[in-house]
Amino acid sequence: MWLNIIGSIIILFIIVLTIRGIMRDKNSSKSKHTIQKNKEKSNSKIKKEIEEVKRKQRPPEM
């Protein structure tokens, strides 16, 4: 009787922990994806600024 109750509690605990772990993994992969997107955006902004500076430094072509 008591072993049955204790076993069911342990199984429920394990199921809850695995579900939490799966949800945490999904959230971490989403945050990694957004971090990657933000890096790409900042890199493209930096490239645009460098191109503008190079354009300004060039003498005007005639």
Per-residue pLDDT tens for 28-62? Answer: 777 777 778 888 888 888 888 888 888 888 766 65
- The confidence band for 13, taking pLDDT boundaries of 50, 70 and 90, is very high
The verdict on residue 62 lying in a domain is no
The verdict on residue 16 lying in a domain is yes
CA distance 4 to 27: 35
Identity at 26, one-letter amino acid code: K
The verdict on residue 33 lying in a domain is no
CA distance 56 to 39: 26
- The confidence band for 25, taking pLDDT boundaries of 50, 70 and 90, is confident
The verdict on residue 55 lying in a domain is no
CA distance 15 to 5: 15
DSSP 35: H
Number of domains in the chain: 1
The verdict on residue 20 lying in a domain is yes
The verdict on residue 10 lying in a domain is yes
Question: How confident is the model at residue 53, as a pLDDT?
Answer: 86
Determine the structural domain holding residue 5 and report its residue range. Answer: 1-25
The verdict on residue 32 lying in a domain is no
The verdict on residue 42 lying in a domain is no
Question: How confident is the model at residue 35, as a pLDDT?
Answer: 76
